[in-house]
Amino acid sequence: MSLPKTNRASPTLFLRVAAVLSLLHCIGHTIGGVFSVDAPSGTKEGAVVEAMKSNQFDVMGATRSYWDFFIGYGLTISVGELLQAVVLWQLAGLTKTEPRRMRPIIVAFLFANLGFVIMAWKYFFFPPLLGDLLITIALGLAWVKADGRETN
């Protein structure tokens, strides 16, 4: 008599883990990366932020500053992370019935997140690097487990 394989790691589990990690990354990036950036005046960082805010210029008919671009791009990343979390959660449900058909989508997210890891390593610092690395690992495990030989 064999026992049911209910404790086996599945692509659904790994995709849900990646979705939750993406949501946490979104929250952390939004709160800690976009809305808490103001630097104290009198510091080098403060001088940079002040220069970004005070120097405005025309861009395709709109008056903007580098600060506007900084906030806009930061929020764009947050929206992208939120979208990724939602799509990965939905994708997790689809792997229950058709895991092999989901593999190309999983691998697309895997490579995108691998790119995020490389950029975080080169341009940022440890917390976003760690978050992106954990998401990439979860996606890699989901891709391996979605080989179609087992379903949830």
In a domain, 65, yes or no: yes
Give first-to-last CA distance, the chain, whole Å: 20
In a domain, 150, yes or no: no
Q: How far is CA 130 from the centre of its chain?
A: 11
Question: Average of pLDDT values for 12-32?
Answer: 96
Amino acid at 15: L
- % the chain with pLDDT above 70: 91
In a domain, 15, yes or no: yes
In a domain, 141, yes or no: yes
Q: d(Cα 152, Cα 147) in Å, to the nearest integer?
A: 12
| Nearest-5° Cα angle at 94, 92 to 95 | 65
In a domain, 134, yes or no: yes
Confidence of residue 5 (pLDDT cuts 50, 70, 90): low
Q: Is the pLDDT of residue 136 over 90?
A: yes
Question: Average of pLDDT values for 109-129?
Answer: 96
Question: Average of pLDDT values for 113-126?
Answer: 96
| Domain region containing 109 | 11-145
Question: Average of pLDDT values for 41-50?
Answer: 89
Q: How many domains does the chain have?
A: 1
pTM: 0.86
Residue-wise pLDDT tens digits, 81-117: 999 999 999 999 999 999 999 999 999 999 999 999 9
- CA dihedral sign, ordered 107, 7, 87, 136: negative
In a domain, 151, yes or no: no
